[in-house]
Amino acid sequence: MYKTYSMELGGHTLSVDINRVGKQANGCAFMHYGDTTVLCTATASEKPRDGIDFFPLSVEYEEKLYAAGKIPGGFNKREGKASENAVLTSRVIDRPMRPLFPKDYRNDVTLDCLVMSVDPECRPELTAMLGASIATSISDIPFDGPCAMTQIGLINGEFIVNPSQEDWKNGDLKLTVASTEQKVMMIEAGANEVPEQTMIEAIYKADAVNKEIIAFIKNIVAEVGKPKHSYTSCAIPDEMFAKMKELVPVEEMEKAVFTDEKQVREENIRQITAKLEEAFADNEEWLAILGEAIYQYEKKTVRKMILKDQKRPDGRKITEIRPLAAEVDIIPRVHGSAMFTRGQTQICNVCTLAPLSEVQRVDGLDENTTEKRYMHHYNFPSYSVGETKVSRGPGRREIGHGALAERALLPVLPSEEEFPYAIRTVSETFESNGSTSMASTCASCMSLMAAGVPIKKMVAGISCGLVTGETDDDFILLTDIQGLEDFFGDMDFKVTGTETGITAIQMDIKIHGLTKPIVEGAIARCREARMYIMENCMKPAIAAPRESVGKYAPKIIQIKIDPEKIGDVVGQRGKTINEIIARTGVKIDITDDGAVSVCGTEREMMDKAVEMIKMIVTDFQEGQIFKGKVVSIKEFGAFIEFAPGKEGMVHISKIAKQRIEHVEDVLTLGDTVTVVCLGKDKMGRISFSMKDVAQQ
C-alpha cells in the first residue's frame, strides 16, 4: 500500500505519493502540485567509484513535451538533448543539495525529475526541486537534509509565494531560495532593479515558507524513511597529514600559495607535490590519494591565512578589487565589442544585431514562452586556464554562466518598439582566474552600448566569497574572489545590478547554510563593489549607449500598414514580397498587427523598399503621381508596374499630347515613365495618364 501526504502551499495543494511507483529506486516521490505532476527518484551505486576525488552527483530534470500537450518539433518527433531551461533547473536543484551529502562520499548518486504534466498555475521546476529533496530524504542514501525550496514573485509591490507561470514571467522578481531547517542554502534571482532591502525581505519570506515545508518533509521521513546505509569513507588519514606537515611545514605551504600570479602558485605546488611523491615512493596507498591530500593541505592553509590573519593569497585587502581595465571597439567590423579585465580574468564580448525574424525559437513546456529576442552565450576554452582539452561544445557550467549574464541585462534592454532588433552577445573567455560570469556581465553591458543598443542603465556585477570558522559569528567576507578563494572558500555569491537595484543573483555554497548577517553583508558588499567598477572602469571606457548603430550593423525602418493589406504586400505564395526583396536586397518582417520592419545596410535600397510597400497598400486617388516600368504593350495602350504586383494602364490616347498611331512609337518594354492616376476604369483597373503629368 502506498501513502499520500499533503499540505497547502501558495494557494494550491502539494501532495506526495510514497511507495506507489519507482519502488526499486533508493527513494521515490510521486509529486502533485495542483495538476502539475513530477516523478522524482534518488538512486545510488552500491560501491564508490574508483579513482576520483569528488562526489559524483548527477541531477537530471527531464521535460517531456506531452506534459504540455505538445509533440516535439522538427523531423525527429522525440525529445533530444536537454533544453536550456532543463539544464538551469538541474543546476538549481544540484547546488543546495550537494553540500548536504558527506564530503567523503564517493558513490554515484543520480537525482532524476521527470515532468509528466504541467499546470500553468503550479510551476514544474518548483515541484521537481521539492520532489528531489523528499526522494533523497526518505532514501537510504546518506544525506544531511531535508532542504526545501520556495519561489517568490513581485507584482505591483506585493510578494507572491510560488507564483503561476504568468506571474513569474511578468513580475519584477524571479527569486528561488533553498533552505535547511536552520539556514539559507541557495539563492537564484532575476530582478527588475529590485532594491537590496526588498531583496533581503523576499529571501527571508521564502526562508520562512521553506521551514514549513521542511516540517512537512520531516513528518514523511519519520513515517516511511529508510535507515541510511553505511559507506566507505575516502577521508585522508590523519597520520598522512601529520607526515606531510613534517616534510612541508605550514610556513612553506603559506609561502607557496601567497602570490598574485596563478602560474607561479601552480609551479610552487608542483614542486611540493614532487617532493612528497619522492618521500612517499614506497607507500602506494598514500601515493594514490596524494593529490587530494595536497589539495586539502593547501585549502586549510589558505583558509587559516584568510580567517585568522586576514591575509589573501594575492596580498589584497579583504574589500579590495583586483586591477581593472576596460575598452571598446577592439574587434573591427562587428556590430559592437568590448573587453573587460579584472586581475587575471579577461572577457571579450561581441554584440550582433539582426532583424526580429532572427529571434530564437523555444520549444518548451511554457506555452507563453516561444521565442527569445536577447541571447547571451558564454564560452570557456581550455586555454583560458592554461590547459589543453578538446572542445565538446558548451557544458552545463557554460550554459549557466551565459544565462546569468543574460538575466542580468534583460531588465535594461529597450522594448521591441523602441529598438526593433534581435540581439545576441557572446562572451569569449580569454583568461580565467575567478568569476568570469561577472566579467561577462560587465563586458556585455559595454558591448551593447558600443553597438548602439539604447539600454536604460549601466549594469555591473561582482562576486563575494566567504570563509567560516567554528561558530556562526566567526566568518569573513571577501570582495572579488579569485579562483583559489572560490575553490577553497565556502561561498560564491554573485550579484549584478544598476545604481538603482539588483538585476540578478546566483549564490551557491559548500557548507550547511548561511546566516542572515552573511547574506546581508554579501549583498551590501556587492553593491559597493559594482558601484566602484562602473565609476572607475566601465564609464571611462564608454559612459552611455551610442546614438546610432554602427556602420556594419543592419539598419531598420519601421512603418505601420493596415493589417488587412498584409496579403497585398506578401502576394500570392509570397511572390510580391520576394520581388521587393530581390530588387532591393533588404529583409522584411511583417507582424500580424501590420508592423513592417525593413532591414538593410544601404539606406537608398531601404527607402526604395519602403516606397514600394507604401504604394502597394495605398488606396489610390485621382491626381497621385507615380513612377513605373512598362511591363506590357497592347494595341490600346501600355501597362505600367509602379510597385511589385501592382499595375495600371495608360491608354494610347493618354500617352502623348499629340495623336500617335502605335504605342511602340513612344514606349518600349522596360522604359521608366512618370504617370498620374486618373482613378479606376470601368473594369476596376487603375488608369494612368502620361500626358497630363505636367498639369499636376
What's at 196, amino acid-wise? Answer: E
Which own/partner pairs from 399-402 qualify as long-range (CB within 8 Å, at least 24 positions apart)? 399/84, 399/87, 399/88, 400/87, 400/88, 400/91, 400/506, 401/427, 401/436, 401/437, 401/440, 402/376, 402/377, 402/378, 402/427, 402/440
C-alpha cell at 122: 503550479
pTM value is 0.88
Q: Report the C-alpha gap between 602 and 608 in whole angstroms.
A: 10
61-90 per-position pLDDT tens digit: 999 999 999 888 778 888 888 999 999 999
d(CA 134, CA 575): 59
Question: Three-class SS of residue 648?
Answer: strand
Name the DSSP letter for residue 26. S
Contacts 24+ apart (CB under 8 A), 668-671: 668/630, 668/633, 669/630, 669/631, 669/632, 669/633, 670/629, 670/630, 671/629, 671/630
Give the separation between CA 494 and CA 507, rounded to whole angstroms.
Answer: 6
In contact, 130 and 93? CB cutoff 8 Å: no
What residues contact residue 11 under an 8 Å CB cut-off, 6+ apart?
161, 162
Encode pLDDT of 141-172 as tens digits: 999 989 999 999 999 999 999 999 999 999 99
Residue ranges of domains in the chain, CATH in brackets? 3-149+194-224 (3.30.230.70), 238-309 (1.10.10), 324-541 (3.30.230.70), 555-617 (3.30.1370.10), 625-695 (2.40.50.140)
Q: Sort residue 74 into left (φ over 0), alpha (ψ -120 to 50) or beta.
A: left
Instruction: Judge contact between 419 and 453, C-beta under 8 A.
Output: yes
How far is residue 324's CA from residue 341's CA, in Å, rounded to a whole number?
A: 6
Spans of the chain, pLDDT less than 50: 696
Residue with the three cell numbers 539588483: 502
pLDDT of res. 695:
57
The cell for 458 is 549601466
**What number of other Cβ atoms are within 10 A of residue 555's Cβ?**
15
Round to whole Å and give the CA distance between 412 and 419: 12
Residue 460 CA: distances (Å) to CA of 195, 297, 446, 526: 15, 35, 10, 10
Asked if 545 and 449 touch (Cβ cutoff 8 Å), the reply is: yes
Residue closest to 555 by CA, chosen among 309, 336, 353, 252: 353
Largest CA distance in the chain: 117
Q: Do residues 599 and 558 lie in contact, with contact meaning Cβ atoms separated by under 8 Å? A: no
Which residues make Cβ contacts (< 8 Å) with residue 519, sequence separation at least 6? 184, 187, 200, 203
Question: Angle at which helices 603-617 and 575-584 pack, to 10 degrees?
Answer: 150
Query: Using an 8 Å Cβ cutoff, are 168 and 153 in contact?
Result: yes
Q: Residue 138 and residue 485: Cα distance in Å, rounded?
A: 35
Phi–psi pair at 554, nearest 5 degrees: -65, 145
Please answer whether residues 25 and 110 qualify as being in contact, where contact means their C-beta atoms are separated by less than 8 angstroms. Answer: no
Would you tell me the crossing angle of helices 290-309 and 250-257 to the nearest 10 degrees?
Answer: 80
Cell 526522494 sits at which residue? 135
Rounded to 5 degrees, φ, ψ at 396 are -65, -35
Extract the C-alpha cell encoding 140. 537510504
pLDDT number for residue 393: 84
Describe the strand order of the beta sheet including 460-468 as a list of residue ranges. Answer: 158-161, 148-155, 173-179, 184-194, 502-509, 491-497, 460-468, 475-479
Query: Would you say 461 and 504 are in contact if contact means Cβ atoms under 8 Å apart?
Result: yes
Question: In whole angstroms, what is the distance from residue 173 CA to residue 163 CA?
Answer: 10
Radius of gyration of the chain (CA): 32
Report the distance separating Cα 456 and Cα 220, nearest Å.
49
Q: Nearest-CA neighbor of 195 among 172, 169, 167?
A: 172
646's CB contacts (< 8 A; 6+ apart) are 615, 616, 686
pLDDT for 694 equals 65
Q: One-letter amino acid identity for 244?
A: M
- Distance (Å, whole) CA 206 – CA 185: 12
How far is residue 644's CA from residue 616's CA, in Å, rounded to a whole number?
8
Cell numbers 517568490: residue: 152
Cα separation, 103 vs 177, whole angstroms: 23
How far is residue 684 CA from its own chain's centroid? 56
| CA distance linking residue 298 with residue 317, whole number of Å | 20
